């Protein structure tokens, strides 16, 4: 369709003029002239040569003055020199000359200067108002192509507007690199001392490359560098237009602010939706991204900020505008859910984003190098390991060091004192600021909360009605203000270490109390308060030896008075800051108190384990005599043996593990005495055996011969493994003689197991002769078969096959099957195949093991063919289990999957098959040790789409197998966005309690990212008012695996409510796992 002049006027030009802001009274159409003009020409005698009536198409005015005229041509009509002369002559002959002439055919638009006749594109751009170039050519072409409502909003103008707008905002946060360093230190973001956060930068680049999700969120605690990262991303995102806003300076309406900014610079007066539509259209036409950065949405004063952000996400997601936000992790959950329904923000969130945390060692060293170059301050190498890696804390330390010409002291109270002084001296009333932060700190301490209501602060500080908290405290990033969705305002400290310093040094005034007993009394008074403990911990970590000694003494007194165990938790928290020399001086008091706690809480394995862990942390010092430590570790064993509670004994393994590092003769003798005492619990004695296993001062053969005949089966089980290290012919013959003369099945069995480690060739013959003697119990015979297989004594195979035929349905038959499998005895395959088809055989576990170890691919094919057409659920399960153990498991996945999904098969067998299949998927068998080891290469891509499809189907069943499948999905689903959505839905709907002993997660890179994202949601669930026992238990199990310190805080805040639903002891176990879980490649709970 081609547009004529009238259509161009009505469809393109008029909407354009209205967008400019011209009203109908300022637009005149088809203005007539009764003079010779345009194509009419005067002759030299000033006589009419050709008299015509001129008519200009459109004349535009403002305030009664002519601004420009428009000459319209039909689409397809070329613009000529005559068209130019006609328009210019019209403009010049008006009573008041119009400064501009615009000639357009809809597709091409040319703007002329009426005075010079030149194309305006050739003019000096400085002549144009506000540095904006009229771009009607581009905009009319866009209107003609798309009939969209544009004017003034060209891509170039959009970029210019963004540059000006961003400059006005970013100058409040970013320093000018050309300024001197003292001027730069006034700002948050200093380019020359900013360290790139590679993980987040990589994730941001991934976000820009994908098109599915439109929101990128930077989440982290106060002081970890969120604003710096936002400034860095914006500063380096200079190829495409973007807008930058900060919640710390935003008004109550984000939309009014954005629209006001645009309408101030552009001629047209737009609604909020039209602004976003125009941004989107221009970006899409030029195939560019447009990003809106909003920093610190948690600091935004708008009480409806959650609703506004989600409204913004609706616009940006619909129009494919990108949104990058930052938020404190403390309140992030409020933005992701509205009235318990997933928010638009959450639905459009790019999930492949790690949480912003403190600097790692490499980042810290890079920062230290930058500060050395820029500030001239060098960090001592010995300080690197113990320094807090929080970026805000580091900034404070370097800034104070720079201004005071001192060395960097990151953990010093003096550093924070000087930092606050340097900030407050910029204010006209320094004392007033101190009055407020002291009062607010005391209010926080008394209330025991990180954030306190502003009404409580006003009441506590006794503010007048006209008196407010000074704005400088927010401007200096000392205080942090948060407004909830109903307008309640809460205040807290931007950085907790400043709060702890003020409470310790100014509110409690611990620095100023010189009477030791008074100070200890003051410390004890605030130990029941969590905020108080944080402040006292800070006081300890920054204290001298005397101050640390007083804190330890106070905590011990508090524990004794309250019959508590605070010292063990405290030591774990402050271990890196403990003076080495003080450890030596106070060792006896601390060690004795830990032993007191250990004994006092012998019925509580959680506290007992805390005691051992804190002792383990505490003893890492060269100042403590090693013999003293060994004596106390043995004393822990003695306490356990004198108090043989089962839960108490569970920490024996940890004690044994620590004791392996010690080897005094006195300690060895003491341990040997304990382990030889048969009146003691053999469960504990077996760990004493373990603690002795590496000692050079021990006569191992002598103790082995004593303990291999011990009445305690646990002791024998542990000591029999020593044989492989101490074997000789004499010892071997002694064991064979014992085997012939001892009439005790348990001892005989352990002797046989010990002999199975033999490397002497004649041992196999000796064991075989005893096998065929028929003198021994079937249990011992079974272990003889296993021992012969481990020695690869192949002469025994025919005998084992005959024994299998006679004992197929017994435990002995199972032991023989294991042995034949270990032999890889091909000659036994026919008998094993027949047993596989035996419907009466109940225990098939070792049958499938033997077959899979022996069979070739051809044997598998024969087995499948034999079972073809047989409709028997048990046989279907059996063959699937065999196939799951195949080396070529991928080939048989369809059969395995079909069986796992078969609901007619018993649940425990379906779970067993799923476990077996998963084991083979994520492990590989070491050919040398024949031990199953976790795969390490490309572990996050082990599961294929079809594998995950199976797991999702199992989860939908909402039964016991669903809980097993969920753990696998969480470990291996690489689509973190899908995983997050599915996980929340599954956990909310799941009717089965997850068995914590079956929950196994593999630490893949995906799991690490998922843990960062889901952890806030899990923590949030602990604050729910009405607990469903099944749901909260399942949440807590995943909290144990994926949680961190924030999870412990959430548990602590809600402990009374949680324990009203579930057992407190069970909850203690969860906390223990979070605190002390080892960072292995596999997480087991």
pLDDT in tens, 183-237: 888 888 888 889 888 888 888 888 888 888 899 999 888 888 899 999 999 888 8
d(CA 576, CA 578): 6
pLDDT (tens digit, 9 = 90+) per residue, 468-489?
899 888 888 888 887 777 778 8
Beta carbons within 8 Å of 45's beta carbon, 6+ residues apart: none
Do the beta carbons of residue 950 and residue 900 sit within 8 Å? yes
What pLDDT is recorded for position 1012? 74
For 572-626, write each residue's pLDDT tens digit. 778 777 776 776 778 888 999 999 999 888 877 778 888 888 888 888 766 788 8
CB–CB of 900/884 below 8 Å? no
Please provide the DSSP assignment of 240-296 as one string: S-EEEEETTT--S-HHHHHHHHHHHHSSS---HHHHHHHHHHHHHHTT---EEEEE-
Task: Report in angstroms the alpha-carbon separations of 923 from 834, 891, 917, 926, 939.
Answer: 30, 17, 10, 9, 10
What's the rounded mean pLDDT across residues 307-319? Answer: 90
Q: What is the pLDDT of residue 843?
A: 61
Tell me the C-alpha distance between 684 and 700, whole Å.
19
Dihedral, CA atoms, 793, 797, 802, 807, nearest 10 degrees?
Answer: 70
Give the pLDDT band of residue 798 (cuts 50, 70, 90).
very high
So where are the chain's domains? 5-146, 155-347, 358-411, 428-507, 513-613, 936-1085
pLDDT digits (tens, 9 = 90+) for 931-963: 556 565 555 567 788 888 888 898 888 888 888
pLDDT of the residue at 889: 80
pLDDT at residue 996, rounded to an integer:
57
Q: Over 50: is that where the pLDDT of 461 sits?
A: yes
Q: What is the third-level CATH fold of 428-507?
A: Arc Repressor Mutant, subunit A (1.10.10)
Q: Given pLDDT bands bounded at 50, 70 and 90, which one contains residue 49? A: very low
pTM above 0.85, yes or no: no
Look up residue 529 and give its DSSP letter. S
Task: Give 145's pLDDT tier (boundaries 50, 70, 90).
Answer: very low
Residues with Cβ within 8 Å of residue 1007, at least 6 apart in sequence: 970, 971, 1001, 1042
5-146 and 428-507 share one fold: no
Residue by residue, DSSP assigns 667-717 as HHHHHHHHHH-TTS-HHHHHHHHHHHTT-TTS-HHHHHHHHTT-S-HHHHH
Q: What is the pLDDT of residue 130?
A: 34
Work out the average pLDDT over 509-532: 92
Spell out the residues 6+ positions from residue 1084 whose beta carbon is closer than 8 angstroms to its own: 999, 1000
pLDDT score of 362: 83
How far apart, in whole angstroms, are the C-alpha atoms of residue 1036 and residue 1038? 5
| Distance separating alpha carbons of residues 355 and 1013, to the nearest angstrom | 7
Q: Which tens digit of pLDDT belongs to each residue from 3-15? A: 677 777 776 677 7
Query: In terms of pLDDT, which residue wins out, 1017 or 700?
Result: 700
The per-residue pLDDT for 411 is 66
For residue 48, the cross-strand partners are 42
pLDDT above 80: residue 132 = no
Rounded to a whole number of angstroms, the distance between the first and last alpha carbons of the chain is 71
Q: Which fold has domain 5-146?
A: tt1808, chain A (3.90.1570)
Mean pLDDT, rounded, for 843-858: 84
Supply the DSSP symbol for 782: H
Mean pLDDT of the chain: 81
What are the phi and psi torsion angles at 552 (to 5°)? Answer: -60, -45
Strands 489-493 and 452-453: antiparallel
CATH tag, 155-347 = 3.40.50.300
In 395-502, DSSP assigns E strands to 452-453, 479-483, 489-493
Highest mean pLDDT among 173-182, 830-839, 965-974: 173-182
Distances (CA, A) of 59 to 25, 69, 87, 117, 1072: 11, 4, 11, 18, 81
Residue 534 pLDDT > 60, yes or no? yes
In this prediction, what percent of the chain has a pLDDT beyond 90?
26
Residue 126's pLDDT band (cuts 50, 70, 90):
very low
Identify each DSSP E strand in 819-962 by its residue range.
Answer: 923-925, 932-934
pLDDT of residue 633: 94
Cα–Cα dist 96/99, whole Å: 9
Q: What is the helix, strand, coil percentage profile of the chain, to 5?
A: 60, 10, 30
Helices (H), 563-625: 566-574, 580-600, 605-618
DSSP 354: P
Average pLDDT (838-858) is 78
Q: Of 956 and 52, which is predicted with more confidence?
A: 956
Cα dist from 621 to 138, 537, 662, 1029, whole Å: 74, 20, 14, 45
pLDDT at 820: 95
Q: Is pLDDT larger for residue 292 or for residue 605?
A: 292
**Interval 68-110: pLDDT, tens:** 888 888 777 888 888 888 888 777 777 677 888 888 887 788 8
Residues in the chain: 1085
Answer yes or no: is pLDDT of 1085 > 50: no
Proportion of the chain above pLDDT 70, given as a percent: 86
| pLDDT value of position 1001 | 57
Q: How far apart are CA 993 and CA 128, in angstroms?
A: 71
Taking the C-alpha atoms of residue 971 and residue 583, their distance in angstroms, rounded to an integer, is: 42
**Which of 126, 83, 118 lies closest to 99, judged by CA?**
118
β-bridge partners, 482: 490
Q: What is the model's pLDDT at position 1059?
A: 83
Which pLDDT belongs to residue 386? 55
405 three-class SS: coil
Give the pLDDT confidence of 1019-1050 residue by residue, as tens digits: 778 876 666 788 888 888 888 878 877 787 77
Does residue 60 sit in helix, strand or coil?
A: strand
Is 329 a residue whose pLDDT tops 70? yes
16-25, 112-121, 425-434: range with lowest mean pLDDT: 16-25
> What is the pLDDT at residue 539?
93
pLDDT, greater one: 381 or 906:
906
Q: Positive or negative CA dihedral for 745, 747, 750, 756?
A: negative
């Amino acid at each position: 369709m081609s547009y004529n002049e009238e259509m161009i006027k009505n469809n393109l030009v008029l909407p354009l003029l209205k967008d400019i802001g011209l009203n109908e009274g300022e637009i005149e159409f088809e203005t007539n002239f009764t003079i010779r003009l345009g194509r009419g020409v005067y002759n030299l005698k000033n006589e009419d040569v050709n008299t015509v009536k001129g008519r200009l198409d459109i004349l535009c005015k403002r305030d009664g003055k002519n601004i420009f005229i428009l000459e319209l041509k039909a689409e397809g009509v070329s613009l000529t020199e005559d068209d130019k002369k006609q328009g210019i002559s019209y403009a010049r002959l008006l009573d008041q000359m119009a400064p501009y002439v615009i000639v357009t055919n809809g597709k091409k638009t040319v703007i002329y200067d009426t005075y010079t006749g030149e194309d305006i594109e050739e003019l000096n751009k400085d002549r144009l108002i506000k540095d904006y170039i009229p771009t009607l050519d581009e905009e009319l072409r866009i209107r003609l192509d798309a009939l969209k409502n544009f004017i003034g909003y060209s891509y170039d103008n959009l970029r210019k507007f963004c540059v000006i707008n961003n400059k006005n905002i970013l100058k409040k946060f970013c320093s000018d690199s050309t300024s001197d360093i003292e001027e730069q230190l006034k700002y948050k973001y200093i380019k020359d001392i900013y360290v790139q956060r590679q993980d987040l930068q990589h994730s941001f680049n991934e976000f820009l490359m994908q098109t599915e999700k439109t929101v990128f969120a930077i989440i982290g605690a106060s002081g970890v560098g969120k604003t710096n990262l936002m400034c860095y991303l914006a500063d380096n995102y200079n190829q495409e237009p973007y807008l930058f806003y900060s919640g710390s300076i935003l008004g109550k309406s984000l939309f009014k602010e954005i629209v006001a900014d645009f309408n101030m610079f552009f001629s047209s007066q737009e609604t909020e939706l039209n602004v976003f539509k125009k941004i989107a259209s221009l970006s899409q036409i030029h195939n560019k991204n447009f990003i809106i950065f909003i920093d610190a949405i948690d600091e935004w004063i708008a009480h409806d900020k959650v609703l506004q952000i989600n409204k913004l996400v609706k616009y940006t997601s619909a129009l494919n505008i990108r949104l990058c936000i930052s938020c404190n992790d403390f309140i992030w959950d409020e933005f992701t859910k509205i009235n318990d329904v997933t928010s638009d923000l959450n639905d459009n969130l790019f999930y492949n984003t790690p949480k912003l945390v403190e600097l790692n060692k490499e980042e810290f060293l890079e920062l230290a190098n930058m500060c050395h170059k820029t500030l001239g301050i060098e960090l001592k190498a010995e300080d690197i390991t113990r320094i807090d890696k929080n970026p805000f804390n580091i900034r404070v330390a370097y800034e104070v060091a720079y201004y005071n010409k001192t060395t960097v002291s990151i953990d010093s109270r003096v550093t924070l004192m000087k930092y606050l002084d340097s900030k407050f001296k910029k204010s006209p009333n320094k004392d007033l600021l101190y009055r407020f932060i002291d009062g607010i700190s005391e209010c926080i301490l008394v209330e025991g909360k990180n954030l306190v209501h502003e009404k409580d602060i006003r009441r506590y500080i006794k503010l007048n009605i006209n008196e407010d908290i000074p704005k400088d405290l927010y401007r200096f990033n000392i205080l942090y203000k948060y407004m909830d969705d109903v307008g309640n305002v809460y205040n807290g400290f931007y950085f907790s270490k400043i709060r702890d310093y003020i409470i310790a040094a100014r509110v409690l005034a611990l620095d100023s109390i010189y009477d030791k007993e008074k100070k200890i009394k003051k410390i004890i008074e605030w130990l029941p308060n969590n905020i108080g403990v944080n402040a006292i911990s800070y006081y300890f970590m920054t204290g001298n030896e005397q101050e640390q000694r007083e804190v330890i003494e106070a905590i011990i007194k508090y524990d004794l008075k309250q019959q508590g165990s605070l010292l063990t938790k405290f030591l774990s928290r402050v271990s890196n800051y403990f003076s080495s020399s003080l450890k030596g001086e106070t060792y006896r008091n601390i060690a004795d108190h830990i032993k007191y706690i250990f004994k006092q809480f012998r019925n509580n394995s959680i506290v007992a384990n805390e005691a051992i862990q804190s002792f383990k942390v505490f003893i890492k010092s060269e100042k403590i005599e090693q013999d003293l430590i060994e004596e106390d570790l043995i004393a822990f064993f003695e306490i356990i043996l004198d108090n043989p509670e089962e839960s108490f004994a569970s920490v024996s393994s940890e004690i044994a593990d620590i004791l392996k590092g010690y080897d005094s003769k006195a300690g060895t003798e003491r341990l040997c005495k304990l382990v030889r005492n048969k009146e003691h619990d053999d469960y504990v004695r077996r760990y004493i055996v373990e603690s002795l296993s590496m000692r050079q001062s021990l006569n191992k053969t002598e103790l082995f011969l004593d303990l291999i005949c011990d009445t305690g089966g646990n002791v024998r089980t542990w000591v029999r493994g020593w044989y492989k290290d101490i074997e000789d012919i004499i010892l071997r013959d002694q064991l064979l003689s014992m085997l012939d003369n001892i009439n005790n099945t348990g001892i005989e069995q352990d002797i046989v197991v010990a002999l199975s480690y033999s490397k002497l060739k004649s041992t196999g013959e000796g064991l075989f002769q005893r096998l065929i003697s028929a003198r021994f119990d079937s249990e011992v015979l079974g272990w003889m078969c296993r021992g012969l297989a481990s020695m690869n004594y192949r002469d025994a195979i025919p005998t084992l096959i005959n024994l299998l035929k006679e004992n197929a349905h017994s435990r002995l038959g199972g032991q023989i099957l294991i042995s034949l499998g270990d032999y890889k005895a091909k000659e036994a395959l026919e008998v094993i195949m027949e047993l596989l088809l035996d419907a009466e055989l109940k225990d098939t576990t070792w049958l499938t093991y033997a077959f899979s170890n022996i069979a070739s691919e051809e044997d598998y094919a024969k087995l499948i063919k034999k079972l073809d057409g047989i409709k028997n659920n048990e046989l279907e399960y059996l063959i699937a289990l065999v196939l799951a153990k195949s080396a070529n498991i991928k080939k048989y996945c369809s059969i395995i999957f079909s069986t796992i999904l078969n609901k007619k098969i018993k649940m425990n067998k379906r779970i067993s098959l799923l476990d077996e299949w998963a084991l083979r998927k994520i492990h590989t068998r070491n050919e040398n040790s024949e031990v199953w080891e976790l795969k390490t290469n490309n572990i996050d891509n082990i599961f294929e789409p079809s594998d995950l499809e199976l797991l999702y189907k199992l989860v939908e069943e909402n039964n016991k197998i669903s809980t097993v499948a969920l753990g696998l999905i969480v470990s291996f689903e690489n689509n973190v966005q899908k995983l997050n959505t599915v996980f929340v839905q599954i956990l909310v709907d799941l009717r089965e309690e997850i068995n914590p002993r079956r929950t196994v997660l593999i630490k893949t890179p995906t799991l690490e990212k998922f843990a960062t994202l889901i952890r806030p949601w899990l923590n949030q669930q602990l604050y729910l008012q009405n607990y469903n026992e099944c749901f909260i238990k399942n949440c807590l199990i995943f909290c144990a695996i994926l949680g961190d310190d924030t999870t412990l805080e959430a548990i602590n805040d809600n402990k009374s409510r949680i324990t009203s639903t579930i057992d407190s002891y069970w909850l203690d176990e969860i906390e223990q796992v979070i605190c002390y879980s080892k960072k292995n490649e596999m997480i087991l709970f």
